[in-house]
């Protein structure tokens, strides 16, 4: 992957804030320029939602987050950035002004525009260096939805498009190169068509906003999340396939099945009608609540699609694989083996909390399991090890849930190697509150080395076995076993 | 619920076959009329896919399936049916002919038409009894997607519409009454608009069928599966909400963002172009394979939406609740206390699975924790008990992870009371694969009675304490403790 360490975000609204979160949570430093004094607060709220959602989305650990700074000028923001993303209002003159300011100091740096509708050739008009400008159109929420439409014009440099295509997938995004520039690119042409049809249906009193949403989300919306339009119809054609489907529904093109020969007049009255219906439909939720509901649903849908994996779930699977491998690469930090090992920290997420306001029982094992994963990564159980058909499974766990734990608490884990033999590893974890050091829970775990192809136990291999002896002989063998180790649940 | 025991299906294609499966798998007897000699084979294949998908979808048990018979005439098929569903080709004269044959013998029985485009008033032309005819437009796959657009005309009887609205939800379907009849109802107007726009994009060489599908399924398709159009935009408006969104995108109505002022000519060449692109995109899968992939994804998406529950997930939750209650009614309420108690079943959800494709370590405790909750509910720790400031917390857990568990597996839990005293309860759970009875994991748990106001241990109270003695003295005290109970993790 080419060098990508800093991004500049010009315009920090819903879309700009989403880019900030996507970049920063993937370890990229971000500088923001937005003259709105409220921008840091608004972006902070988007970032908090994004962090919550991404941590729930990924089984794999996220990298150390990049820093977010607020610049006083465009020149300051773009200094040192390899990607400059423009997300200002959809006013062409304003975008041209931003590009001129950017290119006065950074004429060769990629400028991606979040524009929904303008073509790259329009964006490039009057630019110092048109070659570095392209459309990079994301979808809200930018930190969860994979799609980015990359639209070059003939004047866009091949190196710029290539750079964009190479850096987005490691961020969990899915670039779609639009080969011929066109107003509204591809996806928004459909959104616009549906939007215009929907305005007619509301205006003509056929359906309310809620009825229209229900007509989508209880039916074809569930299909489109995974297959889009054509593949859905290919299946709908049944055994006879696509040609049959086309033959059946082709003639409908002449039927009055849409009102799209015409555009509804966008009056104050129509705006009030729609805003009023939308209030009746969803007004009981704040926008932030709706965002979290949407994000939770998206996380669930993306994870469901990861099972096959299929579509956006395939993007997620590739993203997670790469995150895991990146975390393997961070394992070089040396530790003092005469003490227990500080390999893992965690934060109690809101969705880990039960109706009593405390961390749910099974999340204790969630944290201990992640701490075990951190230990395994540390001793060299990486993708190369697993590719050889070797893995290490937890076969037994003994947990003491000592204290209730509230949402948002920062936890620190201390791990001790209690022993190992040819095929087994015995570990303990102590969970403490990071701030006070208070003891919250303890875990003792037996792990078994497994041949995943043969499905049976097998001796540990290098580098795992040599790491274990280095840790053991380096000091852990001289540590006293914690008092909870080797203990059973008492009879009553 | 009104009496609904038999349905008649006229026309057994993809949609008619889907109706057969939806009805029969929910315990309704079905008679099919379709002159195609291949109909039984085709419907049998749809039914097999449907059974597989519905059993995966629902945690709750399905009722005994209805019988499926193939009639030699429409008159034979509709005899004794309470619901007649017409799913023949989209040719108005053919539909009129079917209705006339039906109404010659069953003039008062509900006739639902699966038509995508015709208005009910068009369907009713020349009918013996227009009052019993309405549009009941489902979405493919009919056995999984909840939406049914119910479209009455002014001539449709109120009792007919009411009957339709009352019998669909118990089948897991979501009726949407379209209050003013219109060509193509609501959902298909959007599908038609998108279809027309998509044909232009392919014809003009802007995008291939695969690129168009990707533009949908990696982006807005994931949003529409849960919120549809307007609620998505309400959230996208950010803090400023719907009016802000409208103000921002209203002016785009005058921009050339769709080509829908015009309709592409439906030439042989265009059909070949699209069919060819679709083959290149998905030709490596058979239609049946694609159907199963689609169904697995839909099951995952619907289950993901059930977590909140939200949208189609709310429909699923209500459907399951009713299935569970119906199955509970079919079961003896008393348990035999001389055996371990079968109080809880679970299904391994896609998001419970790690990168190896197995249930993640901590989900074992998730399942055991839920089984503990089921036990606590069973012994009377209900909302009244908790409202008194009394609760019961798990303070210690010992788990043996014996077997890997794959996504989708159905689990059954057996719970044994190992002992209790004034403040404590000791339990074991055994987790087995429901189908094979294979042992997957064991759990031993110590629970403590807590005064949640004072934050300290307190004696157990009635009805919990009397339930415990009834279970203990009723037989559990004579059971042998399982071999894993009271055992510690061994030293190595």
Give tens-digit pLDDT for B240-292: 667 777 777 666 666 655 655 555 666 778 778 878 888 888 888 887 788 88
Neighbour count for residue B382 (Cβ, 10 Å):
12
pLDDT for residue B288:
76
Determine the 3-state secondary structure of B411 from DSSP. Answer: strand
Question: Which among A187, A320, A487 is the nearest to B220, CB-wise?
Answer: A187
Query: Does the pLDDT at position B339 exceed 80?
Result: yes
Backbone angles phi, psi at A396, to 5 degrees: -160, 140
Q: Is the pLDDT of residue B154 over 90?
A: yes
**H helices, E strands: number in chain A:** 17, 14
So what's the pLDDT on residue A264?
Answer: 60
More confident residue, B17 or A383: B17
**What residues form DSSP beta bridges with A112?**
A85, A134
Query: What count of other Cβ atoms lies within 10 Å of the Cβ of residue A488?
Result: 15
Please report the pLDDT score of residue B348 as a whole number.
85
DSSP helix/strand/coil, B209: helix
pLDDT at A266: 67
**Residue A352: predicted pLDDT:** 77
Distance from C-alpha of A247 to C-alpha of A234, rounded to nearest angstrom: 12
**Rounded Cα distance, B236 and B234, in Å:** 5
Provide the pairing of β-strand B439-451 with B456-457.
antiparallel
The length of chain B, given as a count of residues: 492
> Could you identify the residue written with the tokens 């993203």?
A319
Token pair, residue B192, equals: 């038609």
DSSP H stretches of helix in B58-138: 74-78, 92-105, 120-124
Residue A33 in tokens: 């320029």
Q: Assign A492 a pLDDT band (cuts: 50, 70, 90).
A: confident
What DSSP string runs through B451-480? ETTTTEE----TTHHHHHHHHHHTTGGGSP
- Relative to beta strand B424-433, strand B341-347 is unpaired
How far apart are the CA of B18 and the nearest CA of chain A, in angstroms?
11
A6 pLDDT higher than 50: yes
Residue of B183, B257, B371, B421 to mutate when probing chain A, most A C-beta within 10 A:
B257
**Residue A148: closest C-alpha in chain B:** B219
Is 90 exceeded by the pLDDT of residue B146? yes
pLDDT at B162: 98
- In chain A, residues with a C-beta closer than 8 Å to the C-beta of B39 are none
**Per-residue pLDDT at B344:** 84
Distance of alpha carbon B83 from alpha carbon B4, whole angstroms = 8
Whether the predicted pLDDT of A123 surpasses 50: yes
Write down the pLDDT at residue A195. 86
CATH class entry, domain B6-185: alpha beta
Mutation to test the B interface, candidates A90, A191, A279, A455, most B Cβ within 10 Å = A191
Domain boundaries, chain A: 6-185, 188-284, 332-478
Q: Supply the pLDDT for residue B332.
A: 41
Confidence of residue A272 (pLDDT cuts 50, 70, 90): confident
Task: Reply yes or no on whether the pLDDT at A80 is more than 60.
Answer: yes
Instruction: Give the model confidence (pLDDT) of B353-379 as tens digits.
Output: 887 788 999 999 999 998 998 888 888
CB contact under 8 A, A218 and B146: yes
Give the fold, CATH level 3, of B336-478.
Thiol Ester Dehydrase; Chain A (3.10.129)
pLDDT score of A167 more than 90: yes
Could you say which of B139, B256, B407 has the minimum Cβ distance to residue A219?
Answer: B139
pLDDT band at A263 (very low <50, low <70, confident <90, very high): low
A296: part of which helix (H) or strand (E)?
Answer: helix A287-306
Q: Are B474 and B417 in contact (CB under 8 A)?
A: no
- Say whether A308 and B302 touch across the interface (CB within 8 A): no
A213/B228 touch (CB, cutoff 8 Å), yes or no: yes
Q: Quote the pLDDT of residue B404.
A: 92
The CATH homologous superfamily of the domain defined by A332-478: Hotdog Thioesterase (3.10.129.10)
Q: Which residues pair with A359 in a beta bridge?
A: A353
Running DSSP on this structure, what letter comes out for residue B484? T
User: At residue B433, does pLDDT exceed 90?
Assistant: yes
Backbone angles phi, psi at B262, to 5 degrees: -145, 160
pLDDT at A258: 62
Enumerate residues 6+ apart whose C-beta is below 8 A from A145: A138, A139, A298, A312, B218, B219, B222, B223
Q: In this model, does residue A302 exceed pLDDT 60?
A: yes
Q: What average pLDDT is seen over chain A?
A: 89
Examine the pLDDT at A259 and tell me if it is beyond 60.
no
Q: What is the pLDDT of residues A368-403, one digit of tens each?
A: 998 998 899 889 888 889 889 999 999 999 999 999
Q: What is the CATH number of domain B188-284?
A: 1.10.1040.10
Does the reported pTM lie above 0.90?
Answer: no
pLDDT beyond 70 at B333:
no
């Amino acid at each position: 992957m080419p060098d990508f360490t800093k991004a500049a975000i010009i315009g920090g609204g819903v879309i700009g804030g989403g880019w900030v979160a996507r970049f920063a949570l993937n370890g990229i430093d971000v500088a923001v320029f937005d003259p709105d004094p409220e921008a840091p607060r608004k972006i902070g709220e988007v970032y908090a939602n994004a962090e919550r959602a991404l941590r729930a989305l990924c089984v794999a650990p996220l990298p150390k987050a990049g820093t977010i700074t607020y610049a006083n000028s465009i020149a300051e923001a773009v200094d040192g950035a390899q990607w400059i993303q423009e997300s200002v209002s959809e006013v062409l003159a304003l975008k041209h002004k931003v590009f001129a300011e950017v290119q006065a100091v950074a004429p060769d740096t990629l400028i991606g525009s979040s524009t929904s509708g303008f073509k790259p050739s329009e964006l490039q008009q009057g630019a110092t260096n048109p070659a570095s400008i392209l459309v990079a159109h994301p979808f809200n929420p930018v930190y969860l939805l994979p799609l980015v439409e990359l639209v070059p014009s003939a004047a866009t440099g091949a190196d710029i498009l290539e750079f964009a295509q190479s850096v987005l997938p490691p961020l969990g995004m899915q670039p779609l190169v639009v080969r011929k520039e066109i107003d509204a690119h591809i996806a928004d042409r459909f959104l616009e068509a549906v939007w215009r049809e929907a305005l007619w249906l509301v205006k003509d009193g056929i359906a309310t906003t809620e009825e229209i949403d229900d007509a989508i989300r209880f039916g074809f919306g569930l299909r489109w999340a995974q297959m889009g339009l054509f593949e859905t119809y290919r299946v709908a054609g049944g055994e006879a396939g696509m040609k049959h489907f086309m033959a059946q529904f082709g003639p409908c093109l002449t039927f009055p099945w849409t009102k799209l020969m015409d555009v509804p007049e966008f009056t104050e009255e129509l705006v009030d009608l729609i805003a009023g219906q939308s209030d009746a439909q969803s007004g009981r939720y704040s926008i932030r609540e709706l965002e979290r509901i949407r994000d939770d649903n998206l996380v669930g849908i993306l994870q469901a699609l990861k099972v096959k994996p299929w579509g956006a779930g395939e993007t997620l699977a590739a993203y997670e694989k790469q995150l895991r491998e990146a975390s393997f690469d961070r394992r070089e930090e040396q530790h003092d083996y005469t003490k227990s090992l500080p390999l893992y920290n965690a934060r109690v997420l809101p969705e880990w909390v039960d109706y009593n306001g405390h961390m749910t029982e099974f999340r204790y094992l969630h944290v201990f399991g992640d701490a075990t994963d951190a230990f395994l990564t540390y001793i060299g159980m990486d993708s190369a090890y697993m590719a050889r058909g070797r893995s290490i499974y937890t076969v037994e766990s003994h947990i003491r849930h000592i204290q209730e734990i509230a949402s948002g608490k920062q936890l620190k884990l201390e791990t001790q190697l209690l022993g190992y033999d040819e095929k087994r590893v015995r570990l303990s974890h102590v969970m403490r509150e990071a701030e006070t050091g208070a003891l919250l829970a303890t875990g003792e775990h037996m792990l078994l080395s497994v041949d995943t192809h043969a499905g049976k136990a097998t001796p540990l291999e290098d580098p795992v076995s040599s790491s274990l002896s280095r840790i053991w002989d380096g000091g852990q063998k001289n540590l006293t076993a914690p008092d909870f180790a080797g203990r059973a649940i008492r009879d009553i």
